[in-house]
């Protein structure tokens, strides 16, 4: 029997279901294909580290706009909470068009793009909003199926990784018009990144594939050190970092710029590294779903394979993270229940650069957050 790789979105829903198993309700349906990795969250994962759950008055966020996508999978909908600078709670909550938001990004005009994973009856789409008013600008559905990630290039073209139909679809700037569809070499695509030349890199089940800018031409396929690839990112020198989610190969593999031969494999401090980020000093941040039992973020100095520090305070059931331009780290924590009557709806913990303790925890307007985006310009 062939075991298919679950998407990161499916993993997050699965973990939420495991954590909520003690709440008396049924688990949500797993929409993406395939069996789960053999690393189920235990009662210890759900129970340890919950002392910080006590209600905290949220303080202000330094980002001009912080978008928090809440996935209300019990009802198949969800919403987006928009936080503005100097605000202690969302300036607005957007729910129109939401169907399990799973990815998000701002364009150069400040418009917000949301990848909706969809449901058993609807394969998903991308919805575009004006965060200043909350208005739904347009819905993009042509070619989209269970989208797991989206990015925009410098010209405003939109790239969408479609886990449901093994494709990457590209759309004209500011439009719903489908320009081209990439299928060669695509197998359960998870994440997208663009290098300095504008070439598109895609993480697949057992490879990372590179495609020429403005075309569907496959340039190369990277397989060395790739095991159920999750996230990917580039540093300022053009080196490629790939997270590997196969339980027996928890790692981040680092590849040389241009040649993309394997330079080193990072394993220390990693436990199902869902997301990666690099700051301006090329320090690597890895979000670990199971690290320190309740989740962690491990930080690595450039060129090293040993963590320089591990962040656990304020982390419980992490789902995603993002760095803002000033180096502040935002970590989304999913919904967790200790009992049928005591549930933590989730939070966003924010850390100052080089700090291991959250400077703030945002809870108002948060319920099972799964995607974060920051627009510092508006």
CA dist., res. 197 & res. 354, Å (int): 31
State pTM to two decimals. Answer: 0.85
E-strand ranges in 204-317 read 208-211, 218-222, 229-234, 240-244, 251-255, 262-266, 273-278, 284-288, 296-300, 309-311
CA dist 46 and 232 (Å) reads: 28
In sequence order, which residues have a C-beta less than 8 Å from that of residue 359 and are 6 or more positions away?
A: 59, 328, 350, 351, 352
123, 115 Cβ separation under 8 angstroms: no
Cα distance between residue 215 and residue 170, in whole Å = 10
Per-residue confidence (pLDDT) for residue 44, from 0 to 100: 26
C-alpha to C-alpha distance for 142 and 178, rounded to whole angstroms: 7
Q: For Cα atoms 339, 245, 215, give the angle at the middle one, nearest 5 degrees.
A: 125
pLDDT one-digit tens code per residue, 248-275: 899 999 999 999 999 999 999 999 999 9
Helices (H) and strands (E) in the chain, counts: 2, 30
**pLDDT per position as a tens digit, 285-300:** 999 998 667 899 999 9
pLDDT of 56: 29
Q: How would you classify the pairing of strands 329-333 and 347-351?
A: antiparallel
For 304, residues 6+ apart whose C-beta sits below 8 A from its C-beta are none
Average pLDDT over residues 24-33: 33
Cα 45 to Cα 208, 288, 313, distances in angstroms = 31, 13, 14
Q: Please tell me whether residue 267 adopts helix, strand or coil conformation.
A: coil
pLDDT of residue 77: 81
Instruction: Tell me: pLDDT of 281 over 80.
Output: yes
Give the pLDDT band (50/70/90) at residue 376: confident
The C-alpha atoms of residue 17 and residue 41 are separated, in whole angstroms, by 10
Mean pLDDT confidence for 209-229: 97
The mean pLDDT value for 108-123 works out to: 89
CB 130 within 8 A of CB 111: yes
Does 37 score more than 60 pLDDT?
no
Q: Measured in Å, how far apart are the chain's first and last C-alpha atoms?
A: 50
CA distance 99 to 95: 9
Please give the average per-residue pLDDT across 148-161, as a whole number.
Answer: 97
Asked whether the beta carbons of 338 and 47 are under 8 A apart, the reply is yes
**What pLDDT band is residue 75 in, cutting at 50, 70 and 90?**
low
Q: Which residues of 231-263 are buried (b: 16+ CB within 10 A; e: fewer)?
A: bbbbbeeebbbbbbbbeeebbbbbbeeeebebe
């Amino acid at each position: 029997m062939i075991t298919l790789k679950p998407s990161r979105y499916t993993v997050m829903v699965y973990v939420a279901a495991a954590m909520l198993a003690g709440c008396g309700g049924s688990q949500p349906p797993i929409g993406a294909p395939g069996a789960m990795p053999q690393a189920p969250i235990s009662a210890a994962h759900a129970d340890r580290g919950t002392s910080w759950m006590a209600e905290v008055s949220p303080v202000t966020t330094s980002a001009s706009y912080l978008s928090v996508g809440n996935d209300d999978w019990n009802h198949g909908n969800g919403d987006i909470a928009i936080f503005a600078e100097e605000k202690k709670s969302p300036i607005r909550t957007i729910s129109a068009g939401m169907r399990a938001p799973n990815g998000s990004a701002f364009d150069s005009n400040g418009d917000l793009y949301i990848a909706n994973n969809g449901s058993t009856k609807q394969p998903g789409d991308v919805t575009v909003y004006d965060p200043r008013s909350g208005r739904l600008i347009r819905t993009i559905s042509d070619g989209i199926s269970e989208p797991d990630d989206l990015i925009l290039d410098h010209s405003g073209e939109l790239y969408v990784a479609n886990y449901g139909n093994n494709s990457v679809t590209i759309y004209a700037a500011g439009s719903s018009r489908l320009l081209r569809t990439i299928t060669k070499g695509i197998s359960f695509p998870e994440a997208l990144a663009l290098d300095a030349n504008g070439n598109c890199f895609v993480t697949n089940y057992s490879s990372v594939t590179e495609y020429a800018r403005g075309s569907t031409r496959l340039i190369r396929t990277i397989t060395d050190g790739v095991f159920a690839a999750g996230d990917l990112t580039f540093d300022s020198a053009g080196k490629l970092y790939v997270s590997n989610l196969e339980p027996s190969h928890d790692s981040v593999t680092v590849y040389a710029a241009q040649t993309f031969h394997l330079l080193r494999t990072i394993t220390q401090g990693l436990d199902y590294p869902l997301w990666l980020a690099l700051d301006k000093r090329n320090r690597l941040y890895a979000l670990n779903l199971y690290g320190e039992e309740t989740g962690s973020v491990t930080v690595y100095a450039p060129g090293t394979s040993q963590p320089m520090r591990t962040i656990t305070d304020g982390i419980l059931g992490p789902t995603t993270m993002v760095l803002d331009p000033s180096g502040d780290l935002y970590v989304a924590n999913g919904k967790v229940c200790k009992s049928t009557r005591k549930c933590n709806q989730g939070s966003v913990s924010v850390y100052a650069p080089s700090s291991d303790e959250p400077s703030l925890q945002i809870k108002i307007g948060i319920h099972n957050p799964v995607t974060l985006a920051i627009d510092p310009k508006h």
